[in-house]
């Protein structure tokens, strides 16, 4: 499908985090919904202003539960079903001795799901993104704060949105090519 | 971690030198990797470390050619240097996880400037630790038998053995430490990608950064993932040294079969790990002029952690002696008497000097504010913790129940070569790390300064701040 607008969005550059936060709030109040902010430091309020909440903790919980089941299941199956050894009539399912490996597997699976889940939800690795086309954007990993309104936003308009963003008090507003 | 905070939140000495901004923090840390010419000392250090790696390769080669007979192992001492050094290295690694995970959960901001290289230290220490049990199995090419996999023998590993628990604990620990470290590096790799001048490095850092661009929703998930990883790593680090202590405690050897072992091992691990962090941090901050970031506050806090965990370890020594006497078991009592006054008595008293007496100097604020004294004490603690492992392994094994099976243990030159070799490997990896990756977490340091895009003054920033941070920046100011 051919994109509706010739650009990916408008990118406004801010001098500090509070200005960005204020601009994000104003944009949200103005009815924009498809936005993204770029900051050199994590800023929880900005993400919340833009309306993001993450489901990552549930993925990690699921990973941990799966790890516990795999860890205990492996030991139960090998010790009770596949290779039972009767030693003085002691129970085959000697679960206290299985706790350590079960625990380690829980941690391993949960940690792996935290990392892989974070990357997957973030769509990383992603070598190309239109925002990298703006030369000033390399300061996003140093000391500048950026707000982008994407052209996918239902309220987006080439001229009106530009005028709106010019009024946000940004250092500059740039077009982001596709 | 969540947004910029005041650098003076804790009151008293700041955790970052005055006058820093987002830009100056980013520039000063990234230029160590990107633009500054490699210091001559780095080449010399790497060269010496490479000699150690050469020694390691020779020691492993000799061992594989002749077998474990080249070591000083015998009956009754079947666990010599291999286990001593394994436990020592694993313990050193634990401070990295403690600093990065537990102090993060406790919101201790001062951890920010030391967590990255402490995590790297963890990773490298675990690698060095792994060498020993792998070789100690005797036929390392069959080490994969430790893993549960379907095989033609129809056998499974013994899941009721602490030695197998160790396999799972240490391999999980190595994996999670590596994940934690890499996740922490992603935003900094993006910073390096954006600031690298040469196209080759731009591409390398760019590939490693996975396309990180600091989007707000990415940060949100990133912070969640990082916090959860810290929460997972915290019980993990406690479990790892607990499981290592089970290797001893679950046996029936006098001096090993004690319930004090797990907490005493964990405290000892933190004790030795912090000593190693100090041993590394003190020269690094001086050589790279990072006194604004690793301030006296950090050194002071680490010294206090060493003192506190050292006291726990000493409580462990006292309890060991008390249990031996109170148990009424002649074997336990003999073990303790032999440990103190037997043929290896010198090692016990050296251990008490290094781990109990010398760290008491840290009660004094004057000692804690002397960089040279801290460095010396950290080295003494490193030695003391190695002696502790020596005492536990050797004095318990060499005289157990039957006097007819008593013996002595003397490490051979190949034991020492392998041990020194792993120290060489550790420093080799560390030198590569500080040259090619940011040794201080740039994005976390940015959270310590006000979130504005101020440009640093062109010149004189460090000279201006030198007076304020009690002359600590003088080393940096002298640089052109």
Q: What is the pLDDT of residues A95-107, one digit of tens each?
A: 999 999 999 999 9
Q: Could you read off the pLDDT of B207-229 as tens digits, one per residue?
A: 888 888 888 888 888 888 988 99
Across the interface, whether the CB atoms of A94 and B236 are under 8 A apart is answered no
Number of Cβ within a 10 Å radius of residue B231: 18
Residues of A in contact with B456 (CB under 8 A): none
User: Of B156, B210, B450, which is closest to A124 when you measure between CB atoms?
Assistant: B210
This model's pTM is above 0.80 = yes
User: Of A14, A36, A142, which is closest to B23 when you measure between CB atoms?
Assistant: A142
Residue-level pLDDT at B56: 94
Residue B464: pLDDT band (50, 70, 90) is very low
| A61: closest chain B residue by CA | B228
| A148: closest chain B residue by CA | B215
Say if the ipTM goes beyond 0.90: no
CB B342 within 8 A of CB B395: yes
Alpha helices of chain A — where are they, by DSSP H? Answer: 17-29, 44-49, 56-76, 95-121, 158-166
Tokens of A82: 């596949």
Looking at the predicted structure, is the pLDDT value of residue B461 above 60? no
Q: What is the dihedral of CA B323, B325, B327, B331, to 10 degrees?
A: 110
Looking at the predicted structure, is the pLDDT value of residue B90 above 80? yes
Residue B292: pLDDT band (50, 70, 90) is confident
Classified as helix, coil or strand, B269 is helix
| Residue count of chain B | 480
Q: Could you read off the pLDDT of B63-86 as tens digits, one per residue?
A: 999 988 899 888 888 888 889 999
User: Of B148, B168, B191, which is closest to A141 when you measure between CB atoms?
Assistant: B191
Across the interface, whether the CB atoms of A126 and B211 are under 8 A apart is answered yes
Q: How far is B193 from chain A (nearest CA, A)?
A: 9
β-strand pairing of A145-150 with A35-38: antiparallel
Across the interface, whether the CB atoms of B216 and A39 are under 8 A apart is answered yes
User: Of A50, A57, A126, which is closest to B224 when you measure between CB atoms?
Assistant: A57
User: Cα B184 vs. chain centroid, distance in angstroms?
Assistant: 17
Nearest CA-CA partner of B319 in B251, B263, B271, B247: B263
Tokens of B403: 């006097």
Q: Could you read off the pLDDT of A11-52 as tens digits, one per residue?
A: 888 888 788 888 888 888 777 888 888 888 887 777 777 777
Sorted by where each starts, the structural domains of chain B and their CATH numbers stand as 22-470 (1.20.1630.10)
Looking at the predicted structure, is the pLDDT value of residue B157 above 70? yes
Residues of A in contact with B235 (CB under 8 A): 103, 107
Whether residue B234 lies within 8 A of chain A, CB to CB, comes out as no
Residue B291: pLDDT band (50, 70, 90) is confident
Tokens of A3: 């994109």
Q: Long-range pairs for B207-213 at CB < 8 Å and ≥24 separation?
A: B207/A127, B210/A119, B210/A124, B210/A125, B210/A126, B210/B186, B211/A124, B211/A125, B211/A126, B211/A127, B211/A128, B211/A129, B212/A124, B212/A141, B212/B186, B212/B187, B213/A38, B213/A129, B213/A131, B213/A132, B213/A137, B213/A140, B213/A141
| A93: closest chain B residue by CA | B160
Q: What's the whole-number average pLDDT of chain A?
A: 83
Distances (CA, A) of B90 to A178, B179, B307, B330, B375: 50, 17, 20, 33, 21
Beta bridge partners of B275: none
DSSP state of B348: H
Nearest CA-CA partner of A170 in A153, A151, A145, A137: A145
Residue-level pLDDT at B4: 42
Looking at the predicted structure, is the pLDDT value of residue A120 above 80? yes
Residue B347: pLDDT band (50, 70, 90) is very high
| B27: closest chain A residue by CA | A142
Distances (CA, A) of B4 to A28, B1, B21, B443, B446: 23, 8, 11, 11, 7
Nearest CA-CA partner of B124 in B417, B419, B433, B429: B429
Across the interface, whether the CB atoms of A78 and B451 are under 8 A apart is answered no
Distance (Å, whole) CA A15 – CA A18: 9
Segment 147-186 of chain B within 8 Å of chain A by CB: 148, 154-156, 159-160, 162, 164-165, 168-169, 172, 175-176, 179-180, 182-183
Whether residue B262 lies within 8 A of chain A, CB to CB, comes out as no
User: Of B183, B195, B455, which is closest to A115 when you measure between CB atoms?
Assistant: B183
Tokens of B56: 């390691």
Residue-level pLDDT at B456: 59
């Amino acid at each position: 499908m051919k994109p509706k607008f010739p650009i990916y969005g408008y990118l406004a550059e801010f001098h500090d985090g509070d200005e960005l936060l204020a601009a994000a709030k104003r944009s949200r109040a103005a009815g924009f919904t498809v936005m993204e902010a770029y900051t050199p430091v994590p800023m929880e309020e900005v993400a919340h202003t833009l309306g993001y909440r993450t489901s990552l903790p549930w993925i990690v919980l699921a990973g941990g539960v799966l790890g516990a089941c795999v860890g205990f299941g492996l030991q139960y199956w090998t010790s009770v079903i596949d290779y039972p050894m009767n030693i003085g009539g002691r129970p085959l399912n000697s679960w206290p001795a299985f706790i350590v490996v079960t625990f380690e597997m829980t941690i391993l699976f949960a940690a792996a799901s935290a990392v892989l889940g974070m990357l997957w939800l973030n769509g990383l690795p992603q070598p190309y993104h239109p925002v990298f086309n703006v030369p000033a954007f390399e300061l996003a990993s140093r000391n500048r704060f950026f707000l982008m309104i994407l052209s996918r936003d239902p309220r987006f308009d080439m001229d009106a949105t530009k005028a709106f963003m010019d009024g946000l008090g940004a250092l500059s507003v740039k077009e982001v090519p596709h | 971690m969540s947004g910029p905070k005041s650098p003076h939140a804790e009151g008293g000495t700041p955790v970052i030198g005055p006058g820093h901004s987002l830009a100056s923090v980013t520039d000063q840390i990234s230029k160590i990797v990107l633009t500054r010419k490699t210091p001559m000392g780095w080449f010399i250090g790497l060269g010496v470390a490479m000699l150690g790696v050469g020694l390691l390769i020779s020691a492993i080669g000799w061992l594989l050619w002749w077998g474990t007979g080249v070591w000083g192992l015998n009956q009754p001492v079947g666990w010599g240097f291999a286990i001593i050094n394994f436990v020592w290295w694993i313990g050193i690694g634990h401070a990295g996880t403690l600093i990065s995970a537990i102090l993060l959960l406790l919101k201790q901001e001062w951890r920010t400037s030391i967590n990255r290289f402490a995590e790297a230290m963890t990773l490298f220490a675990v690698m060095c630790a792994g060498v020993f049990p792998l070789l100690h199995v005797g036929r390392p090419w069959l080490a994969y038998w430790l893993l549960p996999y379907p095989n033609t023998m129809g056998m499974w590993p013994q899941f009721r053995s602490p030695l197998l628990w160790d396999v799972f604990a240490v391999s999980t620990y190595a994996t999670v430490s590596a994940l934690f470290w890499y996740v922490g590096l992603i935003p900094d790799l993006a910073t390096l990608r954006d600031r690298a001048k040469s196209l080759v490095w731009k591409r390398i850092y760019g590939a490693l950064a996975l396309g990180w661009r600091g989007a707000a929703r990415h940060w949100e998930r990133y912070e969640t993932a990082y916090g959860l990883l810290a929460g997972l790593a915290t019980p993990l680090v406690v479990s790892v040294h607990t499981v290592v202590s089970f290797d001893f405690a679950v046996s029936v050897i006098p001096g090993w079969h004690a319930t004090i072992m797990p907490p005493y091992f964990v405290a000892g691990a933190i004790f030795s790990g912090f000593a190693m962090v100090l041993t590394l941090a003190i020269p690094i901050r001086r050589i790279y002029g990072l006194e604004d970031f690793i301030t006296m506050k950090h050194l002071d806090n680490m010294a206090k952690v060493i003192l506190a965990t050292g006291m726990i370890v000493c409580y462990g020594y006292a309890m060991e002696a008390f249990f031996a006497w109170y148990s009424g078991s002649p074997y336990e009592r003999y073990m303790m008497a032999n440990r103190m006054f037997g043929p290896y008595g010198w090692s016990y008293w050296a251990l008490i000097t290094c781990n109990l007496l010398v760290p008491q100097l840290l009660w004094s604020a004057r000692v804690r504010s002397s960089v040279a004294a801290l460095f010396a004490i950290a080295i003494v603690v490193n030695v003391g913790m190695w002696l502790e492992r020596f005492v536990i392994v050797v004095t318990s094994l060499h005289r157990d129940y039957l006097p007819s099976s008593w013996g002595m243990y003397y490490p051979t030159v190949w034991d020492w070569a392998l041990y020194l070799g792993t120290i060489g490997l550790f420093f080799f990896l560390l030198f590569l790390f500080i040259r090619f990756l940011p040794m201080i977490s740039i994005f976390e340091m940015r959270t310590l300064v006000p979130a504005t895009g101020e440009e640093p003054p062109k010149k004189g920033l460090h000279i201006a701040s030198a007076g304020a941070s009690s002359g600590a920046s003088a080393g940096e100011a002298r640089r052109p």
